[in-house]
Structure 1
Amino acid sequence: MDGTALYSIGELSRRTGLSVRTIRFYSDANVVAPTRRTPAGYRLYDVDALLRLELVRTLRELGVGLSTIQRVLNRELSVAEVASAHADALDVQIQTLQLRRSVLRAAARFGSSPEETKLMHKLTQLSGEERRRLIDDFVDGTFGPENADPNAAAMVRAATPDLPDDPSTDQVAAWVELAEMIGDEDFRARLRRTAGHQANRLTLGIEEEAGDDLMEFTRHRLADARNRGIDPLGDEAAPVVDDLVRRFAEVFTRAPDPEFRDWLAQQFEVAHDPRVDEYWRLVWVVNDWQVVPGLVPVYSWLVRALRRDR
């Protein structure tokens, strides 16, 4: 390439791939000014102008703004500084697009209504700090000074749901369900009641009164029912529950009637509320933690089955 050569705007267009109109625009904006003009007023450009135009084209294709490019050409900013800042900006845009994609997929998969889709979009738009603050406020409000149980609060806080930058459809749906759940005062009361038992590893009164043999048999039957995928609200669960109710009624010398079933459910609900166990399941989904079947509470299955008629 001849360092003394001068190129017309048409030649410059052929060499750079930019249109004559675009080059003329950059010239008028003084981004790449012509080296000189012919007596007839036509613009001529030297090799330096050619190289500047190629840099402008590259940076524009990468999405860098014209004002920033001008600062690079004026040596007010280095290409490395611009590349770093623009890459950071792209990271934010990519994260936003990933969240939008997950929301749209969740809306399509679950047949969400316009209101539900709007809520999903709103909740996933929260920054990581805003989401953490939402959970912190929930924990503080649930286990405040008047409900002080540091072990329970620490247990809930240690399992803070943290939505990743590129969540799956299930993670978005779980996060939205969690966000709605933690604002429910009834749920907070249930969590306060059960978390203390779980965090402090307290034994239920009914476990001690019923005896080791019956409790071991109960846990085995419930685990088997869960593993077989039996719905606690379905007809297949009835024989399992009826047998357990009869066995507990014999131990407590009570009639296995609806009143006793309700009492039995209350005893297990102290530490194993179905809504609370659902909260923990959602936390596992959002955090992408592996669910260990042996650690899934089985008493919630029994509570739901006992409450079936209600």
Structure 2
Amino acid sequence: MSPDSVLSIGELAERAGVTVKTVRFYSDRGLLPEAARSSGGHRRYRLEALDRLRLIRSLRSLDLPVTDVARILDQEDALEDVIAGRLSEVGSQLTALRWREAALQLLRDCPAEERADRLRLVGSMAAPPSTAALVRFWRRWLPPRLPARLVSVVLEQAVPQPPADPAPAQVLAFARLHALASGVHPGADHCQPAAHRPGPGFRPAVLYDGLGEAYALAAPYVRAGRPAREGEALDCFVASYARSSGARDTPAFRRGLARQLAVEARIDRYWQLTAEATGSPEPTAGAADDWLRTALYAEVSRTAR
């Protein structure tokens, strides 16, 4: 058959191994241009339509929508973009399936008396979970007028990202974290500590800049499991509170700060669940804060004797 030969819709369908209905479908959507129509109004196609139809079938076998197939056929450089987009979609679908699988394993393996509670927790959370509730939790918790750059730093440190392939225990931790941040459990204390609340002359940016530095200094000790101790990290921690309130770092200030921090509302449960949800060996900001508080209490107790 010469390149100028034409094929009927039936011949094209037979050569391509598809139905006439399939050829008509792609033709009607502009993916398979006709060469002409017979005197009886029947469709006719040039021989190159066979290669085009085979390409369309290959693209559709990858589950690409017709609109993306049209882009690839019309634009030479569209294939790479379409493939990248499809890979991203498939990756998201696989992540969702892994979360559902882990959730099902969690429910299957838990004691029967805990199943209803865990089902309620897991059922209230998307798969994979959204971090929007956690972000809102911290935006309410942080002091007003905190610069945007510091808000971003805190959110990056405090809001865990869901793993792509979670273990059942991580699904449970994320579900509990989501419930805590959403206020599902009555009595969950989300109160802003008094030392972080706005007051005359209070400078929240100074406090949070300093706390970030203090946590970084304490992190190696926390990671190594070393007991809380006096030193540069503790000095930085106390100085952050002193500078933010316009006070001097004195023994009296340290005693007052220790008393205040000892009775303030804590979010230890949040940090515990964050560590469980991520499975990361890196200490959380909450773990560093606990270490520094313990060091402060020990120092104040020692000097008070």
TM-score of the two chains, using structure 1 as the length reference: 0.52
Contact 1:124 1:172 (8 Å CA) reproduced: no
Letter paired with 1:34: E
Deviation per residue, 1:94-119 (Å, 9 max, x gap): 33333333333333333565675354
Contact 1:5 1:46 (8 Å CA) reproduced: yes
SS of the equivalent of 1:21 reads: helix
Letter paired with 2:101: R
How much does 1:167 deviate? 2.0
Q: 2:135 aligns with which of 133, 149, 158?
A: 133
Contact 1:100 1:121 (8 Å CA) reproduced: no
- Structure 2, unmatched stretches of 5+, are 145-152, 195-210, 216-226, 228-261, 291-305
- Is 1:49 matched up with 2:86? no
How much does 1:185 deviate? 6.8
| 1:188 alignment counterpart | 189
> Taking structure 1 as reference, are residues 32 and 167 closer, same or farther at Cα in structure 2, changes over 3 Å only?
same
Q: How does 1:212-223 map to 2 (within 5 A)?
A: none
Q: How does 1:1-310 map to 2 (within 5 A)?
A: 2-75=2-75, 78-110=78-110, 116-117=118-119, 119-125=121-127, 128-137=130-139, 139-140=141-142, 144=143, 158=157, 160-182=159-181, 183=183, 186-188=187-189, 279-290=270-281
Distance 2:177 2:129 in 1: 16
Distance 1:77 1:156 in 2: 38
Contact 1:139 1:157 (8 Å CA) reproduced: no
Contact 2:34 2:45 (8 Å CA) reproduced: yes
Contact 1:9 1:20 (8 Å CA) reproduced: yes
Deviation per residue, 1:164-222 (Å, 9 max, x gap): 233221111011122333435744379969xxxxx999xxxxxxxxxxxxxx9xxxxxx
How many pairs were matched up?
217
> Taking structure 1 as reference, are residues 290 and 71 closer, same or farther at Cα in structure 2, changes over 3 Å only?
closer
- Structure 1, unmatched stretches of 5+, are 146-153, 194-198, 202-215, 217-269, 298-310
Contact 2:118 2:172 (8 Å CA) reproduced: no
Instruction: Indicate the structure (1 or 2) with the bigger Cα radius of gyration.
Output: 1
Letter paired with 1:61: S
| 1:256 alignment counterpart | none
Distance 1:90 1:7 in 2: 38
TM-score of the two chains, using structure 2 as the length reference: 0.53
Question: What is the alpha-carbon root mean square deviation over aligned residues?
Answer: 4.7
Distance 1:52 1:87 in 2: 24
Letter paired with 1:68: D
Distance 2:28 2:155 in 1: 62
Distance 1:191 1:104 in 2: 36
Distance 1:52 1:113 in 2: 54
SS of the equivalent of 1:51 reads: helix
Distance 2:102 2:85 in 1: 26
Identity %: 25
Distance 1:82 1:157 in 2: 31
Letter paired with 2:189: R
